[in-house]
Structure 1
């Protein structure tokens, strides 16, 4: 284990031990929500932080995966594990088709295309009531599990979410450090120069798109198993904006930023809403403060603050070494 991954291991262990410290299922389920949101934010971070492609349609991947596993396991007669694998495969197929369309543009054009594609799928889910249930959604989605792995228990499902988050961190951490990850950041910073030296910029971006879609599909699968319910709301533009907010607030392009952003959003939504009636206003004020004080996000902001404090610290006085007197 590298030193960089040690803090992540400590955080993941603390999340897995939440059932030991509190018997309340509320906090166990809240930790599961944080883990699921963090997986989705890590997936979007591939596009936003490393490819430089801001998307307002990322929610289409979790939404498609959740609807597919719901339909296959409740109406299609598949067992939950087979339905989950087929849901991820079907989501990847649709993501490939969408990627061919969306990656024809960059910048604001890419934002608009991804938002339009997400709205198309959301509209289909909202109107195609015979398949999706419309606004009522699909409920009673079964969780997989056996006697050895009873996922209907909140603590066991939490361990599944934390384990999946650990896999996402390991895989994405290695990807970002790989030559492919370096080439992806090159297409973000200097796409013309990368193309001039022989790199296929479109293919590199398409690979990043598919990787983000894969982790988005896993997010939707865990979301459907957690809530055992899915509705068109999870594919709305507001859902995509919420994941984008997690990435930007935590720090796009960093490995820890999406985790911190996801925890901040989920905790504010679930805890602040208990005590404050207008919790959405508190959420907005929090992120306005982050943008004003730390424009690059929480993780880069604290990194700059630590570097500034290190520069202010007085340098240690040099040690005086006494000279040895020569014998006369």
Structure 2
């Protein structure tokens, strides 16, 4: 199964890498936005799907990373990938500064506390005009350069794709590591994991920081793609759409939220303008359909395999041994 997923992932990367040769510039730009939003959704899935921590303020770390990368590119230099490293570090620092409070709560309290953190950061971006540009945003961000060459539309796309692959691989390796297994145990039964000797709060805090760092990287990619950062990029709407992408795609899979992010971007940026701006209404309908028809999201679909009908479940085998 893992080998097939690896082959499918490699094939997907090859198809994505070849996309600018077959797409118009506008479609390439839309696909770039999909990759940025997919990385945000995957970083959020580390909290929602693996640690069991649904967050509504994750856009704050995207915004911190985006503002940090944009400010650095505008005032120091836009040679890549330095602004992305700055964005990743800024997201990690912001998550470390706020996560130690957030991980002390659970369930709805965690959800509301992260929402409050996101709104505080958004309000700070709105009022800290000398640095963030206030409501006008931080504009005039220079184009990302590789060497002395500024990147055009296709170049920005490949730049974003390369960073997306690196960020996704980091999340995938973490999710398949003993650390990821411990996070799943905490998600399923935190008191039992604590009784086994795991410092559950420390595990959740490290997951929160890593998730914030990857979200900051997504923010750096956002600044490189649109060359403008506004307070709306780190507001409630962005955070809610990211959580919606995780639900649509299926939490706990990483690739599912990426698929959900693509659906969100298509509905919001492609279909929405063609239906008189009713994209949010259509997204709401998609959400309702997913909740009722696909409770585990797109990643929860069970594809038939050759061996599945004849392979008894592990629980049945255990019961058979006992009898």
Do the two structures share a fold, i.e. TM-score over 0.5?
Answer: yes
Structure 2 CA distance for partners of 1:266 and 1:151, relative to 1, 3 Å? farther
- C-alpha distance in 1 between matches for 2:109 and 2:103: 9
Partner of 1:186: 185
CA displacement 1:55-78 (0-9 Å, x = unmatched) = 00100111001111222332x434
- C-alpha distance in 2 between matches for 1:231 and 1:80: 22
Give the drift of 1:245.
0.5
Q: Is the 8 A contact 2:79 2:146 kept in 1?
A: no
Residue 296 of structure 2 aligns to a residue whose secondary structure is coil
Q: Is the 8 A contact 2:94 2:212 kept in 1?
A: no
- C-alpha distance in 2 between matches for 1:100 and 1:170: 26
Residue 145 of structure 2 aligns to a residue whose secondary structure is coil
- C-alpha distance in 2 between matches for 1:44 and 1:230: 20
Where does the alignment leave 5 or more consecutive residues of structure 1 unmatched? 312-328
Structure 2 CA distance for partners of 1:173 and 1:89, relative to 1, 3 Å? closer
Structure 2 CA distance for partners of 1:188 and 1:2, relative to 1, 3 Å? same
CA RMSD of aligned residues (A): 1.8
Q: Is the 8 A contact 1:55 1:110 kept in 2?
A: yes
CA displacement 1:197-225 (0-9 Å, x = unmatched) = 11110111111111101110110000001
Q: Is the 8 A contact 2:83 2:220 kept in 1?
A: no
Where does the alignment leave 5 or more consecutive residues of structure 2 unmatched? 310-323
Q: Is the 8 A contact 2:66 2:229 kept in 1?
A: yes
Q: Is the 8 A contact 2:87 2:217 kept in 1?
A: no
Partner of 2:90: 90
Partner of 1:53: 53
- C-alpha distance in 1 between matches for 2:25 and 2:107: 43
- C-alpha distance in 1 between matches for 2:182 and 2:259: 26
TM-score (norm 1): 0.87
- In the TM superposition, what are the counterparts of 1:24-39 in structure 2 within 5 Å? 24-39=24-39
Larger Rg: 1
Structure 2 CA distance for partners of 1:286 and 1:192, relative to 1, 3 Å? same
CA displacement 1:161-214 (0-9 Å, x = unmatched) = 222222233222222121111011011111111111111101111111111011
TM-score (norm 2): 0.89
- C-alpha distance in 2 between matches for 1:145 and 1:291: 43
Give the number of aligned pairs: 304
- C-alpha distance in 1 between matches for 2:147 and 2:77: 19
1:234 aligns with 2:229: no
- C-alpha distance in 1 between matches for 2:180 and 2:31: 30
Q: Is the 8 A contact 1:61 1:220 kept in 2?
A: yes
